[in-house]
Structure 1
């Protein structure tokens, strides 16, 4: 039954991205916008405690894209039979989760994938798999809005990102969109024949119909890292589909484009504040060549025991998360545009995650001598990268600290209420010498000498793009 459920949900992440891509490329020249938006269901996903609304103009945007097995109202027995899901009642576990990061200038975009089995802290429910957060929020009286808000809170706490908008896609929508888009070409470095997913393809280029494409992105058996490699397959396939969506064969074919958009609009939920026209303006000029993909850093896929049962999970590398997020999205526009505050107006607390004794106290003394107000120094788990963590709205204060911690990464996060300097094993420390007023660069030092030049970090899973015609394993 699990294989059957996965068969029908595997493409939905494509559809979510298709919504944004089609809007961003001006596809509405061929389509009545009001007809499109009339089919969209709105859900109050963005609460004031999660992320206050902000204008698209001049601001970075983070859009949470999720897919699950929920059945849209009005789905017919014939449609469900066509999907092969008549024996499956569906569910609300969000087994596809991505954050689309759109910089303020809109010149590029990055999709950050979250493995469904990521072992995370879900507020109010403790440690569990990430794909359970939406179901917990929904089933405990919150409905779709409660599920969305709990998932958003979980991802914000995990990454430090602020989620500005929410898009949810149904399985029927992704299926209809894939059919509307038509055959797609993929390229493999080696032939594959996996009886579990039924993928059977030669080395080189193959043209896939919907059924073959489903098998292609399903495959995990025979891949070195199982589900994690399957995410790579899906990211690659998304890149290929993006090129097809952005091609003249789709954008200049009004019948094909309308079929795709009809399928999408009838099967998505968004927060009421998501203005697709404004997003289109921000993403004007987006191409498949500047759409990157990345996966959050993980340290393994262990099996743990929970309440006496063995559970396979994906262990998130939380220590590497700040540098990973920074390497993907850079400093948010609010930080870049902020003017550094006067040290005398800033309180900073230093935590030692370097593994070396006495660092928190010595760095606290350095910052105090520079005029900063300081909290009680402390220790934290060993972390590889020195990070200045700050609460949203404290960009000026964080920038003031960053000016004296050259090489540190900066990270907005809801896990702190002020500004916290977390010292890492990279040896980066506070110094009386002032760095560039641009603030922290997101790099980490290797010599341990305060103020020394710092090479760029290498995240566990750097963002990547797939060139046209690229082949994968």
Structure 2
């Protein structure tokens, strides 16, 4: 560091040539110097100001250069694939965004035996089944986030391949041999299942997860019950434990010994992401240049994204996000049955597709046209009732009740089983739907392109139209917010 003079008197002052000993040619004889004018305090103040301004400029340049350097280093390490169809790609321009987060067991190029030993795996090529699937929803203002998990065994329609577990879609589309085809088929499958448009795509391997966890440092988790699982090698007591990277990986991989198996593992992953986000957004990471650089290096070298994902725009949209504003939820399911496929038993997760629209609307916000609509008079509404899980004859009985309340009844029928009673309506019939919802307290209300008019789907929740009402109410009862927010220090199974 350069030493500064101890006082500004150590700086030489300008000297008038006429006072510098003897006379200048043709000048006057030397004269005694006059007392200096009282201007030095002003010069001292100007010098102090110049030092302060210089320091601020240097600090700004240094910090700006550091940020620029880190960003360039980060972007340079990310692998890009053309995963998103250009026609569906949107910029982070103040609109809501959906990012598909994918985790699988593929072995990244260059992974060493030492790397694989950290994971408890071998150099066997790994697998490309996407055992971790989440959609990260960011609203337009970026002040909150919702993580929607899709269990890996969800039995769904994979375009071109019929019914399959959703974790096979990436492999069916090409997998490691064709990561673009694999990503696109997986994205199409998720979009068809959830009704959400996927705007961006992020994929990470097991080794990538380990490296990110290692860079972030020890993570505290809290368990309600102790675990000792030889399959994942996780052995933890009840209460708070501090995990290293290897334990963190085992924590999110464990499913044996958990009450709900893979469904509980999904909860583990949601919980862990919230804990990681809280640590990533903490001052201990953001204000530590060395640690932040290590974390950025670990993330960039571990992820694969679509070609159009702009990290600066993403960071700008998420600037107001905190870990306390992250909500987690799992898609609605009907159960985990074992079915017979090609002569063999197959354990699956049966998705409640009928409840999916209401579930998604509950997470990302309902249609504004419905919220502002004024309920129609019952006589102006034709409503069809379908049985999706209620007792036999329930659709006909509900139709009779609705007719007695003044509605025009359609032909009752049956449909795909569902756990949740819903009022479905096509765009433009918000007022009619609101009238029907007024006599079905607790039913979900969703816009659907699959119905031509207002349709009530009776689920297994027992909700049915009230037999005696004074008049249809104008507003749907407020439902509890879907999803779970994990507060700091929360404990899970």
Matches within 5 A, 1:318-467: 318-331=353-366, 352-353=386-387, 355-357=394-396, 380-381=415-416, 383=418, 384-388=420-424, 397=428, 399=430, 402=433, 404-406=435-437, 409=444, 411=446, 416=449, 421-425=454-458, 447=466, 451-452=472-473, 454-457=476-479, 462-467=482-487
1:107 and 2:173 matched: no
Alignment-derived partner of residue 339 in structure 2? 304
DSSP 3-state at the match of 2:271: helix
Aligned-residue Cα RMSD (Å) equals: 3.9
Aligned to 2:50: none
**Secondary structure in structure 1 of the residue aligned to 2:130:** coil
Residue 45 of structure 1, CA deviation: 1.9
Gaps of 5+ in 1: 1-25, 341-347, 370-374, 428-443
* Residue number among 81, 91, 112 corresponding to 1:43 in the alignment: 81
2:213 corresponds, among 174, 178, 193, to: 178
Q: Is the 8 A contact 2:209 2:249 kept in 1?
A: no
Q: Deviations over 1:297-328 (max 9, x none)?
A: 12221111110111111111222222221222
Query: Structure 2 vs 1, CA of residues 123 and 360 (structure 1 numbering), >3 Å: closer, same or farther?
Result: farther
| Structure 2 match to 1:202 | 237
Instruction: Determine the structure 2 residue equivalent to 1:288.
Output: 323
Structure 2: stretches of 5+ with no match in the other structure: 1-63, 375-381, 389-393
2:39 aligned residue:
none
| 1:186/1:376 CA distance change after superposition, 3 Å | same
- Report the counterpart of residue 244 of structure 1 in structure 2: 279
Question: Cα–Cα, structure 1 residues 172 and 214, in superposed 2: closer, same or farther, change >3 Å?
Answer: closer
- How far apart are 1:420 and its partner, in Å? 5.3
**1:70, distance to aligned residue in structure 2 (A):** 2.4
Contact 2:210 2:249 in 1 (8 A): no
Structure 2 SS opposite 1:147: helix
**In 1, are the aligned partners of 2:116 and 2:123 still within 8 Å (CA)?**
no
Instruction: Identify the residue that residue 222 of structure 2 maps to in structure 1.
Output: 187
- Residue 116 in structure 1 maps to residue 152 in structure 2: yes
Matched residue, 2:32: none
Question: How many residues of Structure 1 are paired with residues of Structure 2 in the alignment?
Answer: 411
* Cα distance in 2 for residues equivalent to 1:100 and 1:467: 18
Q: In 2, are the aligned partners of 1:388 and 1:419 still within 8 Å (CA)?
A: no
Shift in Å at residue 353 of structure 1?
4.2
1:224 and 2:259 aligned? yes
Q: Distance in 2 between matches of 1:455 and 1:251?
A: 43
Would you say the 8 A contact 2:434–2:476 is kept in 1? no
In structure 2, the partner of 1:12 is none
Q: Which has the higher contact order (CA 8 A, sep 6+)?
A: 1
Cα displacement (A) at 1:204: 2.1
TM-score when normalising by structure 2 = 0.72
- Find the aligned partners of 1:110 and 1:170 in 2 and give their Cα distance: 22
CA shift digits 1:79-98 (9 cap, x unpaired)? 33444433421222111100
Change over 3 Å in CA distance of 1:317–1:31 after alignment to 2 = farther
Tell me the alpha carbon deviations over residues 346-370 of structure 1, each in whole angstroms, 9 at most, x when there is no partner: xx99573464128789999x9999x
Deviation (angstroms), 1:403? 5.4
Q: Name the CA shift for 1:200/1:76 in 2 (closer, same or farther; >3 Å).
A: closer
What is the rounded CA distance, in whole Å, between the counterparts of 2:188 and 2:89 in structure 1?
Answer: 15
Structure 1 residue 402: Cα displacement: 4.5
The answer to whether the aligner puts 1:267 opposite 2:302 as a matched pair is yes
- Write the distance in 1 (CA, Å) between the matches of 2:450 and 2:231: 49
Query: Which residue of structure 1 aligns with residue 122 of structure 2?
Result: 86
Mean Cα displacement is larger for which, 73-82 or 278-287?
Answer: 73-82
> Residue 446 of structure 1: CA displacement?
6.0
TM-score, normalising length from structure 1?
0.75
**Residue matched to 2:34:** none
